[in-house]
Amino acid sequence: MTDRDFALDPRLQNDTRHVASLALCEVLLMDDTRFPWLVLVPRRAGMSEICDLSPDEQALLWREVTLASQALRALAPFDKLNLGALGNIVRQLHVHVVGRREGDAAWPSPVWGSGSASRYDEQARAALLERLRAALDASGP
């Protein structure tokens, strides 16, 4: 389910690393050690709102959000899941899946717009990406 005109927004490209391609979405890891944080981007060009997707695609999006949440939880226990679809700055349709821990760098405020990212070092990032891919496979259909 890929739109041939789909291209990832340059800002998302810059801020994240690619984890996996699900049926509808690209799964990206936010390159920020402060929060366990995935971003799901449906591979559909020119969409900015969830209601731009067909009802079937919307259902698939939420299933993939659940899958990503489970993978994140398997890796890094958290106290509260934060889901958000904002797009005030990056208009390309994307959904944030963030594991929040009491006392984390933004707690209890939202992560969006909170301070500056602290990037993973290369080794830690590679290990995390591998574990995320395994967790997504394990919790997949």
Q: Retrieve residue 48's tokens.
A: 């900015």
CA distance 82 to 39: 12
Nearer to a second copy, 88 or 123 (CB): 88
Confirm or reject binding of residue 113 to a second copy (CB under 8 A).
yes
Tokens encoding 8? 């990832």
Tell me the closest approach of the beta carbon of residue 37 to a second copy, in angstroms.
Answer: 14
Which member of 4, 103, 108, 116 binds a second copy (CB under 8 A)?
108
Looking at the Cβ atoms of 38 and 120, the one nearer to a second copy is 38
**Contact pick of 13, 48, 54, 118 for a second copy (by CB under 8 A):** 48
Binding positions for a second copy, 64-103, rule CB under 8 A: 66, 69-70, 80-89, 91, 100
- CA–CA dist 72, 87 (Å, integer): 22
Burial string for 75-111 (b: 16+ CB within 10 Å, else e) reads eeebeeebeeeebeebebbbbbbbbbeeebebeeeeb
Contact set with a second copy (CB under 8 A): 48-51, 58-59, 62, 66, 69-70, 80-89, 91, 100, 107-110, 112-113
